[in-house]
Structure 1
Amino acid sequence: MILEAVILNVKPGLESDFETTFKKASKLISSMDGYLSHELHKCIEVQSKYLLLVRWETLESHTVGFRNSAEYQEWKKLLHHFYEPFPTVEHFEEIEI
Structure 2
Amino acid sequence: MAVIEHALLSVRAGSEAAFETAVDEARRLIEASPGFISMQVRRPTAAGQPYLLLVEWRSVADHQGGFRQSDRYQQWRALLHRFYDPMPEVSYFGEPL
Which residue is equivalent to 1:9?
10
Shift of 1:94: 1.6
Count of matched residue positions in the alignment of Structure 1 and Structure 2: 96
Which residue is equivalent to 1:18?
19
Shift of 1:47: 4.3
**Sequence identity of aligned pairs in percent?**
39
Which residue is equivalent to 1:86?
87
Which residue is equivalent to 2:64?
63
Secondary structure of residue in 1 paired with 2:77: helix
Once the two structures are superposed, residues 9-34 of structure 1 have per-residue CA deviations (whole angstroms, 9 ceiling, x without a partner) of 00000000000010000000000000
The alignment yields a C-alpha RMSD, in angstroms, of: 1.0
Give runs of aligned pairs for residues 20-59 of structure 1, distance below 5 A. 20-47=21-48, 49-59=50-60
Structure number with the higher strand fraction is 1
Secondary structure of residue in 1 paired with 2:22: helix
Q: Which one-letter code corresponds to 1:82 in the other structure?
A: F
TM-score by length of 2: 0.95
TM-score by length of 1: 0.95
- How far apart in 1 are the matches of 2:36 and 2:14? 31
Q: Is 2:76 the counterpart of 1:75?
A: yes
